[in-house]
């Protein structure tokens, strides 16, 4: 997983029907993460712009968030409210 900041959102009116109702958030990973650059993640926890979040990628996003047959490869699965060593 990665930790990043929600910096925006994307709307797609024309889309795969299994994505209806999904909120697509733009997440900017923290600078020291392995993932360099933004990803689009479906919100699973009610995250808002500016919040620091935990993102799961790959099949974990679908299977772990009850979207097993949706074309989703990343999901926001937690709001980070405390950390040790995150910014070092």
**Contact residues: its own copies, CB under 8 A:** 1-3, 7-16, 18-19, 24, 26, 29-30, 32-42, 44-46, 49, 54, 56-65, 68-75, 77-86, 88
Tell whether the torsion through CA atoms of 87, 77, 58 and 43 is positive or negative: negative
- Give the nearest distance from C-beta 87 to its own copies in angstroms: 9
State whether residue 17 is helix, strand or coil. helix
Q: Minimum distance between the CB of residue 81 and its own copies, rounded to whole angstroms?
A: 5
Q: What angle do CA 35, 71, 36 make, to 5 degrees?
A: 10
Q: How far apart are CA 6 and CA 88, in angstroms?
A: 20
The least CB distance from residue 20 to its own copies, in Å, is: 10
């Amino acid at each position: 997983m990665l930790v990043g900041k929600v910096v925006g959102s994307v709307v797609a009116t024309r889309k795969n029907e299994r994505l209806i109702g999904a909120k697509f958030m733009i997440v900017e990973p923290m600078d020291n993460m392995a993932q360099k650059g933004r990803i689009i993640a479906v919100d699973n926890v009610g995250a808002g712009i500016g919040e620091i979040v935990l993102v799961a990628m790959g099949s974990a996003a679908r299977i772990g968030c009850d979207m097993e047959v949706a074309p989703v490869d990343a999901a926001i699965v937690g709001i980070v409210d405390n950390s040790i060593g995150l910014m070092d």
